[in-house]
Structure 1
């Protein structure tokens, strides 16, 4: 028999018993929908988690710190001195910038330093105490800062401040019972930055710098919220006044580096190579991968729970096909008498069982799509309130990957074929004479 003949006969036989086929297929519909919806829900949670992490930080950025350990002392410039028990320090010097920049996949190395003393930012009668840091780059868009006001590009003598810091000015002369002072408008304004240092005898000395606020960074739930970001040359000048000497980066290095990779897929490998060079590297992508692995396990568990419903449906298919064989015993004998082989008979019954699985799979995918849309609408209405710490609201609660419907159809059809295997073997091995005599 030709394949089209098999196909036509299979659908003809299924159409003869529409009610029984429909009731059996409903079990497959429920099982397939359960698998698709549960896996889609886990996928949606995974995508939302990754999306939230990417909003907090750039997944192409790697944080690099100096390496401290035990053993040989690593001197700046490549020199070393032996001795067990001595502390090992691998500094973040200009030589380290050259080493890291040579790694394949590194787009940019950005040194970072912090103020080595105390400071207060003064706007008229109001003041606040920022955490001051600087990056050796004129444009901070590499950090994916979302600006509440102003711009992220800095010129000499300019700075960015976090949203929480901009809202945290207070009047030191304010007393209880007085009206609360309004927060000053600081974007585009020249403010005073008073830097303080203490001598060995405890005497405090202050120096005033003029700083223009170029912009305010939206709240990110990290150090930038209460931070003030400056250019590296401006901060170096302040630190040299605080320490009373010129800063030699070849000997003192930087506090840390930010390494930007060309692609998120290369972030983990670049981080590993930086660690192999002897530095301490960490990327948020490593944590994201751990989260992805966790959600992959969740998808498998959810899919297994849904597959239980398909197992129940498989029993129903096996029962339906067994009953069909009993009802069509004489038909099977007649088919064999006119020349049908065991393979022909087995193929027909396997095709019918697989057809029930395919019909149920199509219905299950359609039902799952509808349920996923309902879940997304309900989740969107529940999460419609603004986020308490800023940022965009979560995306759809469920996500049906392109491969998932195809997998569901193949899996449901395969379940049907396997369920009909025993009844088909039983039909194929019938003796034609005994089948024709069956009442």
Structure 2
């Protein structure tokens, strides 16, 4: 018999037992749809998490600092013993020649500056002295303006424009109770003030008991960073940072030291600040898959290297667990569906004993009878798989609707999607479920005694 004849006979049998066929096909459809949705969930979350990790974790970036080498007072008495571990300009030039390099920028972090504008005062938690033309390479987006070649220019975060206070107005304003004052303070701290292209004054703040000469440095705001998405105004208002050029950063550091009697302000670790123009270098590679390779090259220079790659690997392992759980649920449903197919096909074998007996009398061999039942089971799996694909699209569509409603409908982009490579895989599992479930009924049918079946029926 040809394959087309097997398919025709199998399809006729499925149509005759329409109720049993529908129930078995629905079981396979639910199982295959579960597997498709599980794989789609893992694929979608993987893509979504990668995009978010690039935005927040910066898994394709590397922070480089001077290595923790021997102390200056080394046992051999050599004062230059720690120099091989320092982050020097020659090492930076060498790093620029490394493979898979997308961008490199030097950083120096300054703390504790007050900004003044139109009799209003604000505060900057951190000022980063870096090459401003590299901000775009590191994914720092601007809402207004951009880097400028002019001296004494600054780029502010959106949070730095919020919460500017006029002390004279605050002193003259009377509040009936503490609750009203607290509410006014909350409204004030989340209110953004127009500062683009304005001339502001930076005033370094003292940190020690001794205080020297106070220096004010006027700068022009040439850019405002984009307001972070998905964050409340209270959180954004605490992100008061700014970016300046290395030359301006050096002037600000000198002004701060002058105000504090010639002392450099300690860094975040409590140690004295370095006298170099930079204390850190940030490296951006072309893809996070090259981070380990570049990291090994940097370590050979005896430098301290920090990445967020381990966080990405941890998230990927957690997503793999989610995939296994959802995929296991789909396989379990397919297993339950296969039991129903075995029962249905076994009942079909019992009901078709006379037909099997007549086929044997007419010359059908055991192989042909087994193939007939196997093809019929495969068709049942194929039918369930096709329905499962349609069902999976409905489920994904419904999940996206729920996600967009709970997120306030702010985004039109679908988070969950089905990649094309997942569909053949789901269909394969459905067909294999049908084929494997039809093995026992096919063997049982092939062993039916022809004369006994004809006599009984």
Same fold at TM > 0.5? yes
- Note the alpha carbon deviations across 1:100-147, whole angstroms, 9 max, x for none: 3233211222110123x6432111311222121111343421122232
Say which SS state the counterpart of residue 92 (structure 1) adopts: coil
Is the Cα contact below 8 Å between 2:138 and 2:284 reproduced in 1? Answer: no
Whole-angstrom distance in 2 between the partners of 1:300 and 1:394: 29
Deviation at 1:92, TM superposition (A): 2.2
Deviation at 1:160, TM superposition (A): 0.6
Whole-angstrom distance in 1 between the partners of 2:242 and 2:334: 58
Distance 1:98 1:80, change over 3 A: farther
Among candidates 160, 163, 172, match of residue 168 of structure 1 = 163
- Note the alpha carbon deviations across 1:239-282, whole angstroms, 9 max, x for none: 3455579x9xx984732111011234323443354345433333
Say which SS state the counterpart of residue 225 (structure 1) adopts: coil
Is the Cα contact below 8 Å between 2:159 and 2:236 reproduced in 1? Answer: no
Among candidates 221, 231, 239, match of residue 253 of structure 2 = 239
Within 5 Å, which residues of 2 pair with 1:319-334? Answer: 319-334=343-358
Identify, as 1 or 2, the structure richer in strand: 1
Within 5 Å, which residues of 2 pair with 1:186-201? Answer: 186-195=195-204
State TM-score, norm by structure 1.
0.84
Among candidates 372, 387, 394, match of residue 363 of structure 1 = 387
Whole-angstrom distance in 2 between the partners of 1:305 and 1:141: 44
Is the Cα contact below 8 Å between 2:84 and 2:302 reproduced in 1? Answer: no
Among candidates 330, 334, 352, match of residue 306 of structure 1 = 330
Say which SS state the counterpart of residue 396 (structure 1) adopts: coil
Distance 1:8 1:197, change over 3 A: same
Say which SS state the counterpart of residue 137 (structure 2) adopts: helix
Is the Cα contact below 8 Å between 2:156 and 2:223 reproduced in 1? Answer: yes
Count of equivalent residues: 422
Within 5 Å, which residues of 2 pair with 1:7-406? Answer: 7-56=7-56, 58-68=58-68, 72=70, 90-115=85-110, 118-130=112-124, 131-153=126-148, 155-178=150-173, 184-195=193-204, 202-220=210-228, 225-240=239-254, 242=256, 252=276, 254-275=278-299, 277-384=301-408, 393=411, 395-406=413-424
Distance 1:155 1:429, change over 3 A: farther
Deviation at 1:16, TM superposition (A): 2.7
Whole-angstrom distance in 1 between the partners of 2:21 and 2:196: 71
- Which residue does the alignment assign to 2:177? none
Deviation at 1:363, TM superposition (A): 0.9
- Note the alpha carbon deviations across 1:391-418, whole angstroms, 9 max, x for none: xx59535322222222111101111111
Whole-angstrom distance in 2 between the partners of 1:272 and 1:434: 77
Distance 1:260 1:74, change over 3 A: farther
Say which SS state the counterpart of residue 68 (structure 1) adopts: coil
- Which residue does the alignment assign to 2:441? 423
Distance 1:99 1:429, change over 3 A: farther
State TM-score, norm by structure 2.
0.81
RMSD, aligned CA: 3.5
Gaps of 5+ in 2: 175-183, 229-234, 265-273
Among candidates 411, 423, 428, match of residue 410 of structure 1 = 428
Say which SS state the counterpart of residue 143 (structure 1) adopts: coil
Whole-angstrom distance in 1 between the partners of 2:300 and 2:315: 24
Whole-angstrom distance in 2 between the partners of 1:403 and 1:218: 37
